[in-house]
Structure 1
Amino acid sequence: MKLFGQTISSLERGLNYSATKGKVIAQNIANVDTPNYKAKRVKFKEFLVDAQMNELRAYKTEHKHMDFPERNVQPGVFDYSNFRYRHDGNGVDMDKEQANLAENQIYYNALVDRLNGKFNTLQNVIKGGR
């Protein structure tokens, strides 16, 4: 039996996505003055599809039937290879990166708050409501 259904594992995958996105944004900001550096992004759609595939279970009518293999999925990161933001070939828009960083931080904090709520509920149950 899984506690809270798939909620905690879904929150975990969301945190993994947000952490990867935060690393990519930080990398973009760190390379804002690097000539010919191309800004990177995290592919959310592919990450979401792969995460949903991990939850896919086969309906077994016989004990010999096998489950679908589980995969450890990492979010895909890609760059804009043909995009130039400045004359030196750098593709980082600092304003956009800072906005993405703030948005990602809010998303990450919301996931952490929700995960804390789940753990507090579990702790309350363990203590018997006291």
Structure 2
Amino acid sequence: MLWKMDSTTNFLKKALDGTWYRNKVISQNIANVDTPKYKKKSVVFEDYLKQELNSNKGLKLTNSKHIPGIGIPKEYEPKIIEHKGSSYRFDGNNVNIDVETGDLAKNTIMHEALVKQLIDEYDKVKNAIIEGGK
């Protein structure tokens, strides 16, 4: 049970790190909305997490009734992409404030959902301890 919780919490931690980093980059884009020649940046980390979920690393299944685990998350850094190709204004800046505030709201909802999942994982352990003591 504890290996599964540790694996899940490590995975959620990586996802939370990615959303925190994305929030930081979106805030930087919003702060530079009026900076000439500034190019929008974005953060990509979901692909790394999908690869980790789909990888066969972790526990070896020796029976069809075994429950697969997520495995140990790899060390990675979320990837920053700079969008150099387009420009919305004559000064060369390509930050669209409406898109950025929408992305910030979406990222905030995702971050809050991940926090709730992490709290639920710890609640499971707490309940097992409380119920096991009866």
TM-score class, shorter = 0.7 to 0.9
- When the two chains are superposed, the root-mean-square deviation of aligned CA atoms in Å is 2.6
The answer to whether the 8 A contact 1:28-1:39 is kept is yes
Q: Which runs of 5+ in 1 are unaligned?
A: 60-69
Q: Which moved more, 1:5-14 or 1:75-84?
A: 5-14
The answer to whether the 8 A contact 1:35-1:88 is kept is yes
Return closer, same or farther for 1:20/1:51 CA change in 2, 3 Å cut-off. farther
Tell me the alpha carbon deviations over residues 61-112 of structure 1, each in whole angstroms, 9 at most, x when there is no partner. Answer: xxxxxxxxx8410110011112211111111000000000000000000010
Corresponding position of 1:10: 11
The answer to whether the 8 A contact 1:51-1:73 is kept is no
Tell me the alpha carbon deviations over residues 21-65 of structure 1, each in whole angstroms, 9 at most, x when there is no partner. Answer: 111111100111110000001124543366458873596xxxxxx
1:111 maps to 2:124: no
The answer to whether the 8 A contact 2:15-2:49 is kept is no
The answer to whether the 8 A contact 2:41-2:80 is kept is yes
Q: Which runs of 5+ in 2 are unaligned?
A: 61-72
* Cα distance in 2, alignment partners of residues 75 and 46 from structure 1: 10
- AA of the residue aligned to 1:87: F
The number of residues matched between the two structures is 120
Identity fraction in percent: 34
* Cα distance in 1, alignment partners of residues 4 and 46 from structure 2: 27
The answer to whether the 8 A contact 1:42-1:77 is kept is yes
Secondary structure of residue in 2 paired with 1:78: strand
* Cα distance in 1, alignment partners of residues 32 and 81 from structure 2: 15
TM-score normalised by length of structure 1: 0.78
Alignment of 1:59-78 (within 5 A): 71-78=74-81
The answer to whether the 8 A contact 1:54-1:71 is kept is no
The runs of 4+ residues in structure 1 deviating greater than 6 Å are: none
Return closer, same or farther for 1:122/1:102 CA change in 2, 3 Å cut-off. same
